[in-house]
Structure 1
Amino acid sequence: MHRKFKDLWDALPERVGLKSTQQFYDHVANSPGKPAVINQTGVLRGKAGKPIAEGFSRTIHYEISGAGRIDYQFNDAYNYGIHGDAHPVVFIRAINLSSH
């Protein structure tokens, strides 16, 4: 988690509820590339959706509640550096907890 999102990340349970927060955690931990079972997801088009690096998905727009959204990208086999091991990662691109 990038430090610029830490305060918003920590505020998720208070702002959107523990249930919605847990649903997001479960979604990105288990199936970030599939549509969310409960909340809506969509793939952003254009520049906003461009992958941050090779191997990453386009930006996924996750509606966490009526209170906002979280945009993220994922990579099923991210390898940071020549000595790293490939593993799945999710990069949070934006957190917006105000209404649309």
Structure 2
Amino acid sequence: MSHHQLIILGSGPAGYSAAIYAARANNNPVIISGMQPGGQLTTTTEVDNWPGDTDGVDGTVLVERMQAHAERFNTQIINDHISEVDLQNRPFTLKGND
């Protein structure tokens, strides 16, 4: 069993944004990718409302950029899905499938 100060559940845009902000604040975040790494964005063929990509961008490409950005700040990414959570006792515990 490992201990982490900050765990982010999900690897979609919100998860990666949270990881980048947390990592830049020296909080050493860990992302648990979830059942669909990259989130729903990986099933989107064209994202036209993303600032900075005036010609649109493929959803998978955008997720790959977000992941690279988070990893640049040493975010650890664990490919797993959390199946059980205990928030009644400290430290909180999360159990994954792997």
TM, length-normalised to structure 1:
0.25
Between Structure 1 and Structure 2, whose CA radius of gyration is higher? 2
TM, length-normalised to structure 2:
0.26
